[in-house]
Amino acid sequence: MKRIILIILAILIIGLGTWFAVYGLSSYRAQSAEREKTEFLNKEIEQFLDSRRDEREKSEPADPFGKDEIARVLVIGLDRRVGQVDGHCDAIQLITIDREKQEVTITAVPRGTYSPLPPGGKYLSSDYYVSKACSIGGLEYGIGQIEKILGAKADYLVVLGFSEALGIFRNLDLPTAETLEWLRQRQGYAIGEPQRAHNHSTFIKQMMIKFIPKKSSVTDVALQYILYKTVKTDLSFTEVQALTDALSAMDFTDHPERIRLVMRPAYTVQDISYAEEYLGEYLDKMINPIKGLLSKDDYSGVTEGAAQEKLLEIIDEKKNDSEFVLWAFENNLWLQIEDDEKRLAVQYEFLTKYLLSLSEKDQRESVIADYILEMEYYGEEEWAGKGKELLAEEVGQ
C-alpha cells in the first residue's frame, strides 16, 4: 500500500497545542468578531494556495519536477485553534526530492528561529521568531521568511491541522496520543526546540523507510485521494501521484542512506528513534521529572479518556450551531474521536448538516461523492449506503 501521503503529512501535527483539542473546542465560545477573523484567515490560506496553483499552471506541466529534476515541498503544521486570530507556523519541514540523484533531503527549521516582522507594528523583543512571522504577517509573509532561512524557494506547499494529523496517525496504526506527545516533546531536552524539530525529521525518515514500497505498481489511489482532499495544498492530485512514484523508485528500505537530514540554522542534535513499543517508557522518563514545572498548555494532566469525554460533550452541545458545524466539517473534527462507531456517526451527522450550508447542487454532490468513496475504501458499507441515499436524494431534486 502506498502511504507516502500519510507519511509526509503526519509530521504536521507536532506543533499544535495541547495533547487533545479540548482547549481549541472550548475556545470556540470566543466572541463572534474573533471567529470572523479566524474565518478570514482560512480564506486567506485558500486564496494564497489558489494563487500559487494558478500561477504555476500557466507555465508548468503536471510533472512536479522542474528542469533540475528537483521538487521542493514545504510542509507546515499551522496552529489555528478556534477562537484565536493568529496562526503560528509551529512545525516546519522542507522535503526536497531529487529524482535524478535518487535522494531526499529533509530540512527542519526550528519554530523559534529569529525572523523579522512586518514594519510598523508594535512588537515585544520576544516576538521576533519565524513561527510568529506567520501569525503576525500572514502565511505568505511567513513563508517568505522561512524561505530566507532555508536559502531556497519552495515549489509546493502543504498545510495541515490537528484533526487531520490524528486521522493520519490512526491510518498508520500508530498510537495517536502517545505519538503526538513524542513529537511535541522538547522540555526534556537541554537544547529544547531544535531537538524537537530534528525529531520531526527523524520521524518522517523512519516512516518513509517503513512504509514506502519498493515498486510503484501497487497503487492505492483511493487512499491517496482521500488524504489529498483532507489537506490544504497547491499540489494537484496528478502531481501528488508523480511524487509518490518517484519516492517509491528510490527503494528506501534497502537504501536508507538516500534520505538525508539537515537543519537550518544548524544545531548539534541527536538522532533519537521513534520506537512505538517503548513510547510509554520513554515519555515517562522525559516528562515525569519536569511535569510539575510545565505550563498547562504543555502538560495539562488530562487523561485521554477524560479528553475524549469532554470532546464528545462539546460536540453534542454545539452540533446544532450552524457556525460550529461549518468549522467542524472544514477541520475534520471527527478525526479526533478514538471510538470508531462514534467517529463515524459524528462524521455523518456533520456531513448532513454541512450540506445545508452549500447553495450549489454540484458542490453538494461532490462532497457526498467524496464521502461515499471514503466509506467504501474503509469497508464501511452501512455508512457508504447512507451516503448513496443522500446522493440519490440530491440527484432526484
Domains identified in the chain and CATH numbers: 4-293 (3.40.630.190), 304-396 (no CATH)
pLDDT given for residue 18 in this prediction: 33
Burial label for 30, CB within 10 Å (0-12, 13-18, 19+), is middle
pLDDT given for residue 219 in this prediction: 42
pLDDT given for residue 354 in this prediction: 96
Q: Which residues of the chain register pLDDT less than 70?
A: 1-62, 79-87, 213-223, 287-302, 397
pLDDT given for residue 217 in this prediction: 42
Specify the residue for cell string 461532490.
366
Return the amino acid letter for 54: D
Q: State the Cα–Cα distance between residues 331 and 348, nearest whole angstrom.
A: 14
- Say which residues have a Cβ less than 8 Å from residue 32's Cβ, sequence separation at least 6: none
- Say which residues have a Cβ less than 8 Å from residue 288's Cβ, sequence separation at least 6: none
pLDDT given for residue 17 in this prediction: 33
pLDDT given for residue 365 in this prediction: 92
Cα of 54 vs its chain's centroid, Å: 23
pLDDT given for residue 9 in this prediction: 46
pLDDT given for residue 218 in this prediction: 42
pLDDT given for residue 283 in this prediction: 78
pLDDT given for residue 226 in this prediction: 75
Are residues 115 and 144 in contact, defined by beta-carbon separation less than 8 angstroms? no
> 271 — phi, psi (to 5°)?
-90, 105
pLDDT given for residue 287 in this prediction: 67
